[in-house]
Amino acid sequence: MELQPHTLQLLVRGDFSEQKCGFRLSAEEKTLVETEGNLLVLARSGTGKTNVLLERALWRETRARELLDEGVAQIFITASPRLSTSLKEMFDSRFSSSSSSSSSSGILEFWKIIIALHASAFGRECEFATSNFHSFWRTFDDKLTRKFSEQLVRSEIVSTIKGRRETLENREPWLSRETYVEIVRQSRRADELSEADALSVYRLFEAYEKAKRGALDTNDVAHKLFRHFFRDDDDDDNNRPSLPEKYDFVYVDEVQDLTPVQLALLRVLAKDTKVGLSFAGDSAQTISGVSTFRFEALKDLFYHVFFAATDDGFSRRQKSARAQDVDQRLQNALSNPRARE
């Protein structure tokens, strides 16, 4: 469901009447908006999943003002410049309309989150090498590149070799050759990539790393930041870096556009990742050849990263959750037919 200009203006003025705003939440959508705890909405483009997240944020802000006479700190994250641009003015106007609010809320593109966290952690902004992949591609061995599309190789590098949650446990921010080949062999992509193909893709990844000459891509920076804030090699809490100010609730739209390594940084942003995370994703893209995102990867991230009892080291945090907790905390969205269409 797209928000029309007239609707945006009504929301900017703080008018939440469904009749006046020109849309009405279905019973299922209203349930999702008011669901406590974490939420995942998987739906096709145009079905209203983004609107559910937005209404959820506005509902929480309104409820907090009514019950506590103060707002809540919320952030809406997207990888889409289009969404960020279309909603930023409305979102900022809504949450800055009351001088009594002490909340900090808004919409940001993910790369801006990365830059802000890097500046907070290391006192300087970071530069990315991601945009150079096409120029790198032209320098790779054509005996390898002619076997694959540039898009497929880039997706394998970004989403799997450097994007999987397991890389957070490694000293180097990527999977080993053996691990990557085994993952491909066990996945549904085995029909598309043979073991020999996987080895060739990994050789192209190694060429990519060499071509970067130490420059960082988005996954590199995410890995660096996660290790900085949650390093497991220092048992002295006094030596641990202080975390940035956190948000009560974090919303991620088009979750399939971010890798598990990047999503792990929500652990830095959210006050409580056991209850404060809401996601919306396009189920059509999760099974396409372009994206290797799978719901199981998000579930794995909850199990190993988000459901932590403390802010202690990664290895201890890794052992703190139980698989049934993951299923229970995400079942609200998954059991809803509208959320799975």
Q: Is 49 annotated as a binding residue?
A: yes
CA dihedral 183, 38, 112, 245 (to 10 degrees): -120
Residue 310 among known ligand-binding residues = no
Q: What does the alpha-carbon distance between residue 302 and residue 308 come to, in Å, rounded to a whole number? A: 9
- 3-class DSSP state of 270: strand
Residue 20 annotated as lining a ligand binding site: no
Q: Is 45 known to sit in a ligand binding site? A: yes
Q: Is 50 annotated as a binding residue?
A: yes
What ranges make up the beta strands (E) of 249-296?
249-253, 277-282
34 contact partners, CB below 8 Å, separation of at least 6:
56, 59
d(CA 56, CA 31): 10
316 membership: H or E segment, kind and range: helix 314-318
What span, in angstroms and rounded, lies between the C-alpha atoms of 1 and 129?
Answer: 35
Annotated ligand binding at 313? The verdict is: no
Give every CB contact of residue 72 below 8 A, 6+ residues apart in sequence. 60, 61, 64, 103, 105, 248, 249
224 carries a ligand binding annotation: no
d(CA 161, CA 173): 9
Q: Which two tokens stand for residue 152?
A: 């497929």
Q: What residue ranges in the chain does DSSP mark as E strands?
A: 39-43, 74-78, 106-109, 249-253, 277-282
User: Has 322 been labeled as part of a binding site?
Assistant: no
Query: Encoding tokens for residue 305?
Result: 């990263």
The CB density around residue 147, as the number of other CB atoms within 10 Å, is 14
Tell me the binding residues: 43-50
Tell me the binding residues for ATP: 43-50
